[in-house]
Structure 1
Amino acid sequence: MEQLPCKGCRGLCCGPVAVTENELNKIKKKIKSMPRKIRDDLEKQVRFHGTCIFYDNEKDRCGIYSVRPNACRMFGHYKGMACFRKPELATKNPIINEKSIGVLSINYTWSDFK
């Protein structure tokens, strides 16, 4: 699969991110298993308004990539979720099976992962 040109975007497309209950549980496990210094460094970063709380601005990538929500996995490849740098990659129609329970950075903040 062709990759999105994410390097240098600084997380501008990373948020707001809707999550399901299952995704939230996976994220909580991931955060708890992170070394404390990495978790603290990620939490203290200054991000663009609306950017996901787990976007690693220093490394220019997702800080929870292995457990990122489905919305993040679909971004750039599904109609209605096109990457502004490569809109031609958005060719699929999304199939949503689970209901969102909230949005990272709005309904769920770092205090919910302590």
Structure 2
Amino acid sequence: METLPCKGCRGLCCGPVPVTAKELNRIKMKIKRMPKKLRSNLEDQTRYLGTCIFYDQDNDRCGIHSIRPEICKMFGYYKDLACFRKPELATQSLPAMKEDPVGILSVDFKWDYF
């Protein structure tokens, strides 16, 4: 599968991010195990308004990539979630979500929650 050209996007497509209760629990566990210096660096970064709180602006990547929410994994490959730099990759129809979101990262869940 061809990958998205995320390098250089600086998180412009990383938000808003709806999360389910299950995803939120996994994220919470990862953040609790994250080294304090890494967490502090990620938490203190300035991001564009609406960008996910876990987008690592300094390193131009997702700070929780291994446990990122399902919506992030689908981004760019589904018609309703097309990447503006490579819209031709968005060929699939969006599937029904298995679980309803409980909120939005950066809006309902900020660093003080974690």
Please classify the TM superposition score into its range, dividing by the shorter chain length. over 0.9
In the aligned structure 2, how far is the partner of 1:112 from the partner of 1:93?
A: 33
Unaligned runs of at least 5 residues, structure 1: none
Equivalent pairs counted in the alignment come to 113
Alignment of 1:1-114 (within 5 A): 1-95=1-95, 96-113=97-114
Equivalent position amino acid for 1:74 in 2 = M
Equivalent position amino acid for 1:101 in 2 = V
TM-score (norm 2): 0.98
Unaligned runs of at least 5 residues, structure 2: none
Equivalent position amino acid for 2:113 in 1 = D
Measured after TM superposition, the shift of residue 39 of structure 1 is 0.3
RMSD across aligned positions (CA): 0.5
Q: Deviations over 1:21-51 (max 9, x none)?
A: 0000000011011100000100000000000
Q: Secondary structure at the match of 1:18?
A: strand
In the aligned structure 2, how far is the partner of 1:102 from the partner of 1:48?
A: 19
Displaced runs of 4 or more, over 4 A: none
Measured after TM superposition, the shift of residue 76 of structure 1 is 0.1
In the aligned structure 2, how far is the partner of 1:93 from the partner of 1:23?
A: 22
In the aligned structure 1, how far is the partner of 2:11 from the partner of 2:47?
A: 8
TM-score (norm 1): 0.98
Answer with 66-75 or 89-98: which moved more.
Answer: 89-98
